[in-house]
Chain A
Amino acid sequence: MKYMLMMNTPGGGPYQIASWPEQDIKAHIAFMMNFNKKLSAAGELVGAEGLSGPDQAKVVRAGAHGEPITDGVFPESKEFLAGYWIVDVETPERAYAIAAAASAAPGPGGKPLNLAIEVRQVMTGPPTDWTPGT
């Protein structure tokens, strides 16, 4: 089963990596690269992407004639999606364990950040034995 692990970071909170000392940034980058390598080597990684910052984000809705109406940007948003992983694992517990490992990524002074990781199962097609009315 596939799960999406979404790393949410507070807009003004502890994930302001730009203000960390060099060695802490280095440790954080190394952790993340190694984390993805290990997931890939375990055959569990489906995909992972980092997203650009909320200061470039726009919210779009269709207008009366289907034209895009954009709103934003939102540099001051309370929380934003910094990136995500999609993993293919045997049990939900394994997905939670992976999320916990990501959450413990090192921050300033090498201390774990304990970021909130939202875990959501990815929807699938119908089961092979599916019949209507059962």
Chain B
Amino acid sequence: MTARLDDSAQDLLRDLAPKVLGALLRRYRDFGGCEDAVQEALIAAGLQWPSQGLPDSPMGWLITVATRRLTDQVRADTARRLREQLVVSLIPADEQIARIADAAGVNERDETLDLYFMCCHPALSSASQIALTLRAVGGLTTAEIAQAFLVPEATMAQRLTRAKATIKSAGSTFPELTPADRTFRLPAVLTVLYLVFSEGYTSSGGDQLYRVDLSNEAIRVARLLFELLPDEPEVGGLLALMLLTDARRASRTGPNGELIPLDVQDRANWDRARIAEGTRILERALLRKRAGPYQIQAAIAALHDEADSTETTDWRQILGLYDSLLQFNNGPMVRLSRTIALAMVEGPAAGLSALDAIALDPCSSIRHRIDSARAHLLERAGQHAEAIRYYRQAAQRTTSTPEQNYLLLHAARLSDSFNA
């Protein structure tokens, strides 16, 4: 086993990745080529830094190596890139590198920012947007991204290659974004970061040893975005939502990966530092008086985080927040969550009749959640036989193994006490 970078060097490398890419793009424009060159420089750093130590200027080192890889690539590819080769070869290699390093910092902020928007190009599927964001902005290697999503490396490499080809054929050079473009694409960027964060929860099984923690990566990349756009309240809202949710992570599962629901979690194990940081960021965002779905969801998470128990949670305020959230997103998942809050305020009977309205237009992806919510409310209403039936139905319909185990065990426990 070769030496590995320690965590702080790994973080430094990943934080520098988008800046190095921005610097290269400033000079060479070609997104696909520059992105490949930076990836190779990151891999070279991962191999050389552990034995040779950190260079004096890690950023300069990465720019130098990436530029060499890019010029090598350009020289090797004579036919297709004849024009670039001529332009590049007019300037001696060392001088090119020096110019790039000097120019760093001028428009660094905008260009790092444009990387986020580039990776969320509307022509790309969300799976491709996610992969490209993790590589170009997150500085992860293809192998790390593949492991995190439990797919073969060749599959992930192909997904990335196709994503870059799609951007190219859509006619995008870099950077070409107007402020209007950025405003238009910001929701897509936030969605991608939230999807990465959620994926960190759903694929949290298996061998963790060399797997990148996607939730931590999402938080790290969201922090970078927040530094670039401190005045966008929804960016703060998203970062706050991630921190306030992640604060409960250690309490959310037992030693064998079994799910532990909110009402029986050990709240003493919640991460108070994350809660404090998330709350501070959320309060700052709310001051701008431009509400949005991430700020509202963060506010709901904050109310859960500050309560001592489910009973002392301010469900009335949570219900009001779900009503506000419905104005932005009236999808079945939000309506279902609102129903749970309604039942906590007005009792299970009110929740059950609200549930009937949602179940009228069932979207298959949440059918098992409706079943599970109904089972929970029936149990609270004392209708145990019916509750057991719906817990089992939910268990049959879910496609998540930990959730299925939880539902089966809950139904069995209820059934055992019912029969006793």
List A residues at the B interface (Cβ < 8 Å).
17-22, 24-26, 29-30, 33, 40, 50, 52-53, 55-56
Contacts and interface: CB of A to CB of B under 8 A. Distances in A.
B409 A22 contact: yes
Nearest to A18: B392
Contact of B412 (A20, A50, A52, A53): A20
Contacts, number: 37
B396 A22 contact: no
Nearest to B396: A53
A30 B397 CA distance: 22
B412 A21 contact: yes
Q: For the complex, would chain B's binding face be called helix, strand, loop or mixed by DSSP majority?
A: helix
25 contacts: A17-B408, A18-B392, A18-B396, A18-B408, A18-B411, A19-B415, A20-B412, A21-B412, A21-B415, A21-B416, A22-B413, A22-B416, A25-B409, A25-B412, A29-B256, A29-B405, A30-B256, A33-B256, A33-B257, A40-B207, A50-B401, A52-B399, A53-B397, A55-B396, A55-B397
Given A18-B392, A18-B396, A33-B256, A26 B207 contact: no
Interface in B373-420: 392, 395-397, 399, 401, 405, 408-409, 411-413, 415-416
Contacts of B399: 52
Contact of A26 (B396, B401, B409): B409
Q: Classify chain B: how many residues form its interface, as a range.
A: 10 to 19
Contacts of B401: 50
A30 B413 CA distance: 17
A28 to B, nearest CB: 10
Contacts of B416: 21-22
B76 to A, nearest CB: 31
A22 B412 contact: yes
Interface of B: 207, 256-257, 392, 395-397, 399, 401, 405, 408-409, 411-413, 415-416
Contacts of B207: 40
Nearest to B391: A18
A57 to B, nearest CB: 12
Nearest to B419: A21
B117 to A, nearest CB: 36
A25 B412 CA distance: 8
Given A33-B256, A40-B207, A18 B395 contact: yes
A22 B392 CA distance: 13
**A17, A40, A50: most-surrounded residue (chain B CB, <10 A):** A17
A37 to B, nearest CB: 10
Nearest to A49: B401
A127 to B, nearest CB: 23
Contacts of B392: 18
Closest 5 CB pairs of A and B: A22-B412, A18-B392, A22-B413, A52-B399, A25-B412
Contacts of B412: 18, 20-22, 24-25
B397 A56 contact: yes
B397 A25 contact: no
A104 B401 CA distance: 21
Nearest to A55: B396
Contacts of A56: 397
Given A22-B412, A25-B408, A55-B397, 5 more contacts: A22-B416, A25-B412, A29-B256, A29-B405, A53-B396
Contacts of B409: 22, 25-26, 29
Contacts of A22: 409, 412-413, 415-416
A22 B388 CA distance: 13
A18 B25 CA distance: 57
A40 B401 CA distance: 19
A25 B392 CA distance: 13
Nearest to B414: A22
A78 to B, nearest CB: 18
Contacts of B396: 18, 53, 55
A16 to B, nearest CB: 10
